[in-house]
Chain A
Amino acid sequence: MKLKSLALGATIAAAGIASLVTSPAFAQAKEQFVPVMSYRTGPYAPNGVPIADGFVDYLKLVNAKGGINGVKIMWEECEFGYATDRAIECYERLKGKGPTGAAAFDLLSTGAVYAITAKTATDKIPLIHTGYGRADSADGGIFKWNFPLLGTYWTAADALIQHIGKKEGGLDKLKGKKIALVYHDSPFGKEPIQMLQERAKMHGFELLLLPVTAPGVEQKSTWLQVRQQRPDYLLLWGWGVMNSTALKEAVATGYPREKMYGVWWSGSEPDVKGVEEGAKGYNSLVLDYGQGRAKVHEDLLKLVYDKGQGTAASKDEVGSVLHTRGMMISMLITEAIKQAQTVYGKKPLTGEQVRWGFENLALDQKKLDAIGFTGVMKPVSTSCVDHMGSSWARVHTWDGAHWKLSSDWIEADQQIIKPLVKASADKFAAANKLTRRTAEDCSPG
């Protein structure tokens, strides 16, 4: 028995090692490789699944339409369960795949963005973190390879305070109010604190910081504090199971859901699942149009789902908030590749070339209309210094069955954010002995 098990173990080990060093040879010369980092298991899976489905669905749609100027996309998914060390393994596994290596990484985890940012300069692969990741990386002068397109946690925090101010009848009315931040105790949840403290100083409101230990299934003590302190507004900075748990606790505590505002990662269908009626009135920021269907959704259903090639388990997922977010992130990558192709030619590009595409992204309304993203997002254009592009967001409210938009577009106040970004980026540069990029560094090739 023992010898048998030994032999078995040896076989397993041998097979394992062999598989680790040989990668399947499927490289085709005319394809662009896009890595897909996902978490379809674990405490963040409820949100990770639709976003990964959307991401892959859009790649399928682009291929169904003939690829990016004839260059088809190939991809490989790697499951990392929101764990930073597994994310590094996935990153290493995927970065060299395909004829030209990975085009860009969307890591879907702020902790992973922090860990991998240092590796991007040597690997020459851009990181895009739409609406997450480190806020100071909007400064392209220091963070050459990071692209927090469309917004960061600082712009999100700013937009929420502006919205609440408007609700109160002016930002000056916030004086003396109590605003609580219930946050996931990780880099993700801590990012907005600095910005909120800045706003609290400006307007004289009191900021209560109420951390929730990751992953956020146990929040009783946090909500006890909410019950004691009775904040006027509550900002929810949660992800995965933390959101639905927070809403259940809010129902139990009797905290008015109308006074609760989530970040754009805390307001989607999985978050209110199980508390449908109870969550009525809960608001959240939204980066993209999360209600109804745009043309891109119709195209997706027609060209991908009707042929039985959809990624999501059910067609109903198409058009949901996070599925749309996944599609949008995917679209930003393919549009950057398209942009880079104008300079480097219609062939598979390297990460370094795609980076140029991200830095010179010019998605105007016409282009958005052409790819079917009308009304989903605002136009965005980036530059060598500005890697964020734009910082528009809206607020939507759960009505018990659907998410309904409840505000107009809000733009974060760059007057406040810019100096914070610059100070933080300079601090990072000093710590890592980096110098600001020169003008020549910004030109193509």
Chain B
Amino acid sequence: MLYRENGQFKTTYRADQQIFPIVQDRYVIGALLAFAFAVVPWIAPEYLFRAILIPFVILSLAAIGLNILVGYCGQISLGTGAFMAVGAYAAYNFQARIEGLPLLVSLLLGGLCATAVGVVFGVPSLRIKGLYLAVATLAAQFFVDWAFLRIQWFTDYSASGSVSVSNLQIFGVPIETPAQKYLFCLAVVTVFALMAKNLIRSAIGREWMAMRDMDVAAAVIGIRPVYAKLTAFAVSSFIVGVAGALWGFVHLGSWEPAAFSIDRSFQLLFMVIIGGLGSIMGSFFGAAFIVLLPLALNQVPGWLGIPIATSTASHLEVIIFGSLIVFFLIVEPHGLARLWSIAKEKLRLWPFPH
């Protein structure tokens, strides 16, 4: 009843092509953004920031990056953790070695280094597909893990192999309190999500999708596979690299290669699968699902007044997590984003479905 587009006429091409063509969507997203930027920083407790919001926002960014590669271009990757690590360590090196380099510049340079590495490891995608490509990207994961563990130059010869950053600031404003960190990450993610969405809607985005749907047909109609696949790797690694740098700089503050292990790659892949392949919105859903579920599973029993041992809770978490993934893959392979759009469809007809 409330959610229907009757009477919303589009009189220009511009109006027809906007990201949210329905006016209610625009209001809801606008209100959500206003809430996230203006209200949340004032009301959220510290735990919510540090344990939930900051990881959620950063992992959403990484999921958007991975979604461009896997969801839009159809190139499966198990090396996301590696590209995050490249972003984080490169940004760290720029920050540590160049005195006075602004934080934002280090983060973007970190992203650019991840782009370079991503393109190099994307080259095999020109020849191999599917599962075999997954294995090739796995090589990136192991190589990068190895490099940051063993090549001490990358970690500035720190005795423990653990690197840390401190005194973050941007335009002279320190990023210290959890609310400031959250706002910084949120701003970065908002900008990147908007850019990603627009890239997807542009010619290059359509090339990626054509590549995903059938590469031979795409090549026949004049899309260069080399260009399409490598740009997807480049854009994806750039976003993932920036997310990795944020994860290290803002969320952890001090990290070792284990923070970007193969588990992180799998975690991100689950995020885009559960959230919805080929959907920017789905990346946020997936990140929220993966970040929130373990915490909720850990706390719900206590909240319901059923005391269970922490180890049992931890085992239960794995069990429920696995079952939910299987459940989603069977019931809704297109992920939470598809459920969301089904809900929207139904809502448009409600209360008089045909």
Residues of A whose CB lies within 8 Å of any CB of B are: 1-3, 5-6, 9, 12-13, 15-22, 24, 38, 40-41, 45, 49, 77-79, 81, 83-85, 88-89, 92-93, 96, 110-111, 114-115, 117-119, 122, 134, 185-187, 190-191, 193-194, 211, 213-214, 424, 431-433
Contact A111 B256 (CB under 8 A): yes
Residue from A2, A81, A83 whose CB has the most chain B CB atoms within 10 Å: A2
Is B160 a contact of A84 with CB atoms below 8 Å? no
B331 touches A2 (CB 8 A): yes
Question: Are A118 and B300 neighbours in the complex by a CB distance under 8 Å?
Answer: no
State the CA gap A269–B314 with chains docked (Å).
Answer: 24
Q: Known contacts A13-B292, A16-B300, A40-B310; is A214 also within 8 Å of B258 by CB?
A: yes
B238 to chain A minimum Cβ distance, whole angstroms, is 23
Which residue numbers of B lie inside 8 Å of A, CB to CB?
A: 45-48, 50-52, 55, 149-150, 159-162, 164, 166-167, 176, 251-256, 258-259, 292-293, 295-300, 302-303, 309-311, 313-315, 327, 331-332, 336, 339, 342-343, 346
Please indicate the chain A residues that have their CB under 8 angstroms from the CB of B315 in the complex. Answer: 41
Task: Find A5's partner among B256, B296, B331 (CB 8 Å cutoff).
Answer: B331
Known contacts A2-B342, A6-B343, A118-B253: A84-B259 contact under CB 8 Å: yes
Q: A16-B296, A41-B315, A193-B159 are known contacts. Are A88 and B255 too (CB-CB below 8 A)?
A: no
**Of A84, A92, A185, A424, which one neighbours B47 at CB under 8 angstroms?**
A92
B94 to chain A, nearest CB (A): 15
* Interface pair A20/B299, CB less than 8 Å apart: yes
Of all chain B residues, the one with the shortest Cβ separation from A26 is: B302
Q: Chain B at the A interface: mostly helix, strand, loop or mixed?
A: helix
Query: Counting chain B CB atoms within 10 Å of each CB, which of A13, A114, A119, A433 scores highest?
Result: A114
- Which single residue of chain A is at the shortest CB-CB distance from B259? A84
CA gap between A163 and B339 in the complex, in Å: 65
Q: Which residues of A contact B55 (CB under 8 A)?
A: 85, 89
CB pair A431 B166 closer than 8 Å: yes
Chain B residues near A92: list those with CB within 8 A. Answer: 46-47, 50-51
User: B159 and A424: CB pair below 8 A?
Assistant: yes
With a cutoff of 8 Å between Cβ atoms, the chain B residues found around residue A211 in the complex are: 149-150
Return chain B residues, CB-CB under 8 Å to A81: 314
Return chain B residues, CB-CB under 8 Å to A22: 303
Q: Which of A12, A21, A41, A214 contacts B311 (CB 8 A)?
A: A41
- Asked whether, in the complex, the Cβ of B256 is within 8 Å of the Cβ of A186, the reply is yes
Asked if A1 and B166 sit within 8 Å, CB to CB, the answer is no
Interface of A is mostly: helix
Most B-side CB within 10 Å, residue of A5, A12, A45, A433: A12
Residue of A nearest to B309 (CB): A40
Nearest CB on A from B345, distance (A): 11
Which of A24, A49, A89 touches B302 (beta carbons < 8 Å)? A24
Please give me the residue from chain A that is nearest to B303 by CB atom.
Answer: A19
| B288 closest partner in A (C-beta) | A13
Instruction: Compute how far the CA of A93 lies from the CA of B294 in the bound complex, rounded to whole angstroms.
Output: 14
Are A20 and B295 CB-contacts (below 8 A) given A115-B253, A187-B161? yes
Asked if B251 and A85 sit within 8 Å, CB to CB, the answer is: yes
Using Cβ atoms and an 8 Å threshold, which residues of chain B touch A190? Answer: 159-161
Is there an interface contact between A88 and B252, defined as CB atoms closer than 8 Å? yes
- How far does the alpha carbon of A133 sit from the alpha carbon of B252 in the complex, in Å? 16
**Residues in B whose Cβ lies below 8 Å from that of A433:** 166-167
Query: Can you list the 6 inter-chain pairs with the closest CB atoms, starting with the nearest?
Result: A16-B296, A40-B311, A187-B160, A79-B310, A19-B303, A89-B51
Q: B339 and A9: CB pair below 8 A?
A: yes
Cβ distance A307 to chain B, nearest Cβ, rounded Å? 18
